[in-house]
Amino acid sequence: MTSPHLLLLSSSRYRDAGFLVDGLPVIKDFLVNCIAGDIKDVLFVPYANAAKEYDDYEARVAAIFDTCGLGVQSIHHESDPVAAVRSAQAIAIGGGNTFALLSRLQEAKLIEPIRQAVMAGTPYIGWSAGSNMACPTLCTTNDMPICEPESFDALALIPFQINPHFVSGQIAGHNGESREQRLAEFMAVSPHKPVLALPEGTALRRHGEALTMSGHADGILFSADKQQVIKRDEDVSWMLSNLQTPDA
């Protein structure tokens, strides 16, 4: 069976760096190390752009990817999006609004074709909403529900949830729930669905049954009864088969 290859970035920016500037070396290294041949072109999915400014979004991504010799073709140009997914050398799903993204993928009937392609070996790159989309559901997004998907079920390319853009603690001047409190609420009603909180500037990288966290900070794994720090550059392959710590 062909192994899946995933790169799931928490965000498109880190601190004051420009769009995908921090993530581009990681993306390039990821694609070079995929056992999928010489990748020259990436199929881009811009559906998370709530305003449907797909041409502009494509142009921004293409300008960045071009610096490392990668061509970009947005799926919104395709007369047959399903066929485009099946023939893609690699697939990238950008950030934006996760509810809009899932709704539009469902409307285009692309959920299962993308999942099948990735599980058959087509490399998948996601950032922010695109990383949420790799989870079993969109339920741990930070986004406003601006539209109603057919269901909350996403691509299920990994067996746990991600919370991107994670910020720990109470933000000064903000009297609403902290991110930890919101994730605790999710765990209270979904205790069997662990969540990996990814701060900006971090990523998960999967090659087959190997899973590694990387980036500028540690993550936090929220489960029913505890929170566990996941160190940067840590091998977390055990999360693909079970969600107990290796020494549990």
pLDDT at residue 224 in the model? 84
Contacts for 176 with CB less than 8 Å, ≥ 6 apart: none
Residues annotated as catalytic (active site), given as ranges: 128, 143, 165
One-letter amino acid at 197 equals: A
pLDDT at residue 176 in the model? 65
Return the structure tokens found at 155. Answer: 């691509």
At CA 123, angle to CA 122 and CA 124, rounded to 5? 115
The domains of the chain are located at: 5-169+196-219+231-240
Which of 63, 182, 61, 68 is closest to 126 using CA atoms? 61
DSSP H helices, the chain, are: 24-32, 54-66, 81-87, 98-107, 111-119, 129-132, 179-189
The answer to whether residue 169 scores a pLDDT higher than 60 is: no
Q: Which of 43-57, 162-176, 228-242 has the highest mean pLDDT?
A: 43-57
* Residue 226 confidence class, pLDDT cut points 50, 70, 90: confident
Return the structure tokens found at 22. Answer: 């921090």
pLDDT digits (tens, 9 = 90+) for 4-61: 999 999 999 999 999 999 999 999 999 887 765 689 999 999 999 999 999 999 999 9
Regarding the domain delimited by 5-169+196-219+231-240, which CATH topology (the fold level of the hierarchy) does it fall under?
Answer: Rossmann fold (3.40.50)
Q: How far apart are CA 188 and CA 241, in angstroms?
A: 23
pTM: 0.93
